[in-house]
Structure 1
Amino acid sequence: MKEIKEENNSNNISSSNNEMKKRSMKWTAVLFYIYLHVFGVVGLYFLFIKVKWMTVFYFIFLVTSSSIGLTAGAHRLYAHQTFVATSQLRLFIMLAHTIAGVGSIYNWVFWHRMHHKYYGTEKDPYNHKRGFFYSHVVSNLLSAPSDLKKYARDIDMRDVDMDGYIWTQQKFYWILFIVLGFLLPIHVAVVYLDESYTNSFLIIGAARLLLTTNISWLVNSALLVWGLKEGDKFPVDDNSVFFLSKSYWLNYHYMLPWDWKNDEFGAYETGFITFTIKIWRELGLINQLRTATCNDVREALYKVASSEMTMDEALAEVKRNAEETAYKEKLIYRH
């Protein structure tokens, strides 16, 4: 997505609605994703009827690794800075995100931060007010607004700019993805798992990328699947309770996005990715995990209710307290 670095269009526009109208459909991307989904569905069918068990395990391993790179990596570590990671772990996250095939971490973080910055407005690239299909699919097939730089100035990317792994991935993304994310995984299945090229292409190639692409898209559209609307009863009164575990935690995420315990898909302090982060903490691979305590939230609500401060000021104070606590925990000597 080179649109981030393109020259700003000389035609200025006056309203945010018009800015969004400047986005046009990228028909090459539409065609690519149509083929990806067609071949991917066939690959998923083959996964259950035609391949060896080791290929199934290999497929699960690749999808799981990619998911970690997308959620724990691009989302929680880079987009929201919920913790600090060692260089070894950041290298793993960069490689895991690369094999997911969803573009560079830099671009992913940029668009997700824009999503949070302009949430609920026409400047939001994944505008939830336009419905799930727009947020999950259409928004990923549109070009960048012609005057992107006009309102992208408020998106602070300095922390990402200073990461050498992110710079390397951004600079050589297509080479890295084609070799490490596409050709090598397919080749491994053929050579070491004795799989056919057809099965390997359809399953390790297309079906895997189909899943990782939709996982990436779901991070930005999950609120419309697992989230509850304002005033909704919990648990809900409809039959979705048998298929989806809906909660207000995704709404919480849009208020305190820096809380490392908040899962991408509606849970809090539970789930596979949160469990993975806990393992990293025990292994000493991450530190300064930021989270909100009940006392801090209670104190902030009291100050808002007593009109001592606005909600934004209260949330900023909760964040400062979380940062101080996280840094103090880092200084604790462990033996």
Structure 2
Amino acid sequence: MYRGSQTVGTCVENPTINAEDIGADREMMDDVFDTTYREKKGPRPPMKIVWRNVILMSLLHMSAVYGVILIPLAKPATLVWAVLCFMLSALGVTAGAHRLWSHRSYKARLPLRMLLAVSNTMAFQNDIYEWARDHRAHHKYSETNADPHNAMRGFFFAHIGWLLMRKHPDVIEKGKKLDLSDLHADTVVMFQRRHYKKLILLMCFVVPTVVPWYFWGESFYISLYVPCLLRYALVLNATWLVNSAAHMYGNRPYDKNINPRENKLVAIGAIGEGFHNYHHTFPYDYSSSEFGIKYNLTTCFIDLMCYLGLASDRKRVSKDTIKARQQRTGDGSHRSG
């Protein structure tokens, strides 16, 4: 049972897929909003700022600004490399940590899971296990104190502020109760978690910097500030805009009773993750959008992987289910296509 979903059948199942090809065999319920949650009565816990994160994020964004200044001085190959690193990093989050590991919206064979884990490490947004845990909590307790980036606390908090302060106690408490057995069983996820610090040093900082400096003689400073630090900051902010802007600006054609919105600008920047009213209404859809590949490079990537035999069992919501839902709970702004 997948709550009105259907499995896209254009890929032929490979009977030789082994036990490591963990996917969506089980019912995923931890990404469904919990209507029974109630905030605890009494005074709110004090806000505790993590000054180390404040300093590091400030330095990163100042470095990114300097990287923008250096763009005209960079070699064309370096700019191409920076875009490639951006795309790889983003896919590690969108196709990997989000649609595969958080929602189990499709299955990925071992080579694809390894590629996505490497790409996710380049993005440096916490390891896959922690990212998926927090994202499931975000869906299950959306816009409450148990939501790690509760948008009801304002744009800044939802965008970056949640990373600059200690988590609300409810986030920690509810996060411990989520079913994460599928993540524990995934050898790729647990390998990345065990070796995360060494891997982020290599994939997020060393590789993006060294490749243009070593292979085509780019300046070390341009290599460091453009494809490394600027690219890293851009990927972070593209992801954060899904938590902030896509929860505040846009229409709600599928469910007007929830905060997430449809935001095409965020979808373009986050390679397909801005159709957020749809996604929170149907979190198990592998495309995170009713309209497939439109403004959605992540869906294109997953479809390509399916064509190559590296992915399968993509879950989609039936057109009848979508129509019924938008007529029942939508804000009237639905447009087909």
TM-score normalized with structure 2 length = 0.74
Q: What is residue 75 of structure 2 aligned with on the other side?
A: 52
**Residues 135 and 20 of structure 1: CA distance in aligned 2, closer, same or farther (over 3 Å):** farther
Contact 2:241 2:266 in 1 (8 A): no
Please say if 1:139 is aligned against 2:162.
Answer: yes
Letter in 2 for 1:253: H
| Displacement of 1:179 | 1.8
Q: Give 1:40's aligned residue.
A: 64
How many pairs were matched up?
Answer: 281
Q: What are the superposed Cα offsets for residues 196-244 of structure 1, whole Å, 9 maximum, x if unpaired?
A: 111111112210111121123233335236532539xxxx9xxx99x67
Partner of 1:275: 300
In structure 1, C-alpha distance between the alignment counterparts of 2:318 and 2:94, rounded to whole Å: 23
Q: 1:207 to 1:291 in 2, by over 3 A?
A: same
- The alpha carbon displacement at 1:130 in A equals 2.2
Corresponding position of 1:124: 147
The aligned counterpart of 2:189 is: 166
Deviations 1:74-127, CA, capped at 9 Å, x for gaps: 111111111000000000000000011222111111111111010122221111
Aligned match of 2:280: 254
Which residues of 2 match residues 281-296 of structure 1 at below 5 A?
281-296=306-321
Output the TM-score relative to the length of structure 1: 0.75
Q: Is the 8 A contact 2:245 2:266 kept in 1?
A: no
Q: Is the 8 A contact 2:145 2:170 kept in 1?
A: no
Deviation of 1:142 (Å) = 1.9
Q: Is 2:148 the partner of 1:107?
A: no
Partner Cα separation in structure 1 for residue 41 and residue 80 of structure 2? 47
Alpha-carbon distance in structure 1 between the residues aligned to 2:236 and 2:326: 39
Mapped partners of 1:204, 1:249: distance in 2: 28
Asked if structure 1 preserves the Cα contact closer than 8 Å seen for 2:204 and 2:232, the reply is no
Instruction: State the 1:189 CA deviation.
Output: 1.4
Q: Residue 250 of structure 2 aligns with which residue?
A: 227
Alpha-carbon offset, residue 276 of structure 1: 1.1
Unaligned runs of 5+ in 1: 1-13, 306-310, 312-335
Counterparts in 2 of 1:297 and 1:19: CA distance versus 1, 3 Å: farther
| Bigger fraction of residues in helix | 1
User: Structure 1 157/222 Cα, relative in aligned 2: closer, same or farther at 3 Å?
Assistant: farther
> 1:137 Cα shift?
1.3
Tell me, in whole angstroms, the C-alpha distance in 2 between the residues paired with 1:76 and 1:17: 35
Quickly say closer, same or farther: Cα 1:86–1:216, change in 2 above 3 A. Answer: same
State the SS of the aligned residue for 1:276: helix
SS in 2 for 1:103: coil
The answer as to 2:243 corresponding to 1:214 is no
The separation in 2 between residues aligned to 1:184 and 1:31, in whole angstroms, is 24
> Residue in 1 aligned with 2:178?
155
Structure 1 residues 253-312: Cα deviation after superposition (integer angstroms, max 9, x where no partner): 11210101225xx9654221111111111111111111110234567899xx8xxxxx9x
Structure 2 distance, partners of 1:152, 1:21, is 18
Shift of 1:17: 6.8
How has the CA–CA distance of structure 1 residues 56 and 116 changed in structure 2, closer, same or farther, with 3 Å as cutoff? same
User: What is the CA RMSD across the aligned residues, in angstroms?
Assistant: 3.2
Query: What is the CA distance between 1:144 and its match in structure 2?
Result: 2.6
Q: Relative to structure 1, is the Cα distance of residues 58 and 19 closer, same or farther in structure 2, using a 3 angstrom cutoff?
A: farther
Change (3 A) 1:280 1:20: farther
> 1:284 aligns to what SS in structure 2?
coil
CA contact (8 A) 1:126 1:134 kept: yes
Gaps of 5+ in 2: 1-37, 330-337
% same residue: 27
Contact map agreement 2:50 2:164 (CA 8 A) in 1? yes
Return the index of the structure with the highest Cα Rg.
1
Match of 2:48 among 24, 36, 39: 24
Letter of the aligned partner of 1:29 in structure 2?
Answer: N
